[in-house]
Amino acid sequence: AITCPPPLLANFNNYTVETPGSDIAYCTADDHPIDVCRYTNKIKVDYSLCPTIVFYSRGGLLHCVYTTVDNNTYYVNLLNLDSGVNNRVNYHFTCVVVEYTAHTPMMMMVQLPRKCGSEHSATALRFSSVEWCDLDSCSFPSGLTSATWRSTRWDDLTFTSSQLTVLDMDDLGTNVIFNCDLQSGTKYLIRSAKSMTIMGNNLEIVACLDFPQGISTVKTLYYHATSELAASATRCPRPLLDIFTNYTVTKPQSNTTYCPAKGGLIDICNKTDTVHVDYSVCPTVVFYSKGGLLHCVYSTIDSDKMYYVNLLNLDSVVDNKLNYHYTCVRFFYTGSSVLSMTQVPRGCARGQYPTTLKLYA
């Protein structure tokens, strides 16, 4: 998805749908039946306000995916997110053609199924009430305000429509409030509401958040609603699905080894989305989890067959020293019964000194 072009960055009310043959359907709803302002890269049609199908989408959810301009005429390709299409009432793609030079209170556009082409079969949409998006405003998606969220980097997060609060951010000893500063599509630039003293300097903290997959009550990328942590678990990758009856832990620089052979137990077979460490056998903390219970929440493998796995620690309290909410493990799998990996607190990152684990199945 891309940000929709200027002619579509509006909420559309009170429109008529004129199909070939002069059939006309009316929609007189005033409460944003077609909303593009909320996400700017997505068109949302509320059929509960007006049931007439537009943009050849039964579900009423489409992404802007491509735009070209010829003089003042915009040709916009929309991707329909319907799970199934019949190529009669709904199609995977729709082309919208509209002439645009400036904001006006009314607008006319035509829609064609599949792709831009001959307009003899086009349906005309005439809007008598257009509310243009206020692009200077910045507000978070409504789904973020429904729960406290947990992130790989900043632990617990609380959202309002325009602010984000990070609890005890990175050991600064205080909560940090961020304002939603700028928004473009799914990306949000946040800026600390006041400067913070960091290493003797007064600094503003600025960061960018991106939610390309949308918001759900369970997870958004690496963010998880704290009320539904169990629902965020996914099946661990195949190389981890084993019972490791002994392992060694080597800490950086010191080369100190703990849990010698037959000295530990890590079970990822009983529940394939859960890592269980039995500390009664060996008390050395691994995966930065004091309780020894973690969920696999995300994994990927690169072209060199290096695995990256994000684990969500189910400890009720973390100190960000011995245990953390998230751990990244990285390993190269060769099919051997010995699996050597590194573990890094929070998210996968370069420049850190990971602890090395060697697991023996």
Note the pLDDT tens digit of each residue in 275-313: 999 888 888 888 999 999 999 988 888 777 788 888 988
Residue-wise pLDDT tens digits, 140-170: 877 777 766 777 666 678 888 888 888 777 6
pLDDT band at 258 (very low <50, low <70, confident <90, very high): confident
pLDDT in tens, 172-186: 667 888 888 777 777
Can you give the pLDDT at residue 285? 86
Question: What pLDDT, on the 0 to 100 scale, is given for residue 81?
Answer: 94
Q: Name the pLDDT band for 202 (thresholds 50, 70, 90).
A: confident
Predicted confidence at residue 227, as pLDDT, reads 45
260: pLDDT confidence band, cut at 50, 70 and 90? low
Share of the chain above pLDDT 90, in %: 15
Q: For the chain, which residues make up each domain, given as ranges?
A: 6-132, 142-228, 238-360
> What is residue 263's predicted lDDT score, i.e. its pLDDT?
59
Indicate whether 126 pLDDT > 70: yes
Per-residue model confidence (pLDDT) at position 226: 45
Higher pLDDT, 113 or 255: 113
Q: Could you read off the pLDDT of 13-60 as tens digits, one per residue?
A: 888 888 776 667 778 767 778 999 888 889 999 988 888 889 999 999
pLDDT of residue 230: 54
Q: Over pLDDT 70: what percentage of the chain?
A: 81
- In this prediction, residues 259-271 reach a mean pLDDT of 77
Whether the model clears a pTM of 0.85, i.e. scores above it, the answer is no
Compute the C-alpha angle 179/185/189, nearest 5°.
25
pLDDT at 222 over 50: no
66-107, pLDDT tens digit by residue?
Answer: 888 887 888 999 999 999 999 988 999 999 999 887 788 888
Average predicted confidence (pLDDT) for the chain: 79
Written in H, E and C, the secondary structure of the chain is CCCCCHHHCEEEEEEEEEECCCEEEEECCCCCCEECCCCCCEEEECCCCCCCCCCCCCCCEEEEEEEEEECCEEEEEEEECCCCCCCCCCCCEEEEEEECCCCCCCEEEEEEECCCCCHHHCEEEEEEEEEECCCCCCCCCHHHHHCEEEECCCEEEEECCCEEEECCHHHCCCCEEEEEEEEECCEEEEEECCCEEECCEEECCEEEEECCCCCCCCEECCEEEHHHCHHHCCCCCHHHCCEECEEEEECCCCCCEECCCCCCCEECCCCCCEEEECCCCCCCCCCCCCCCEEEEEEEEECCCCEEEEEEEECCCCCCCCCCCCEEEEEEECCCCCEEEEEEEECCCCCCCCCEEEEEEC
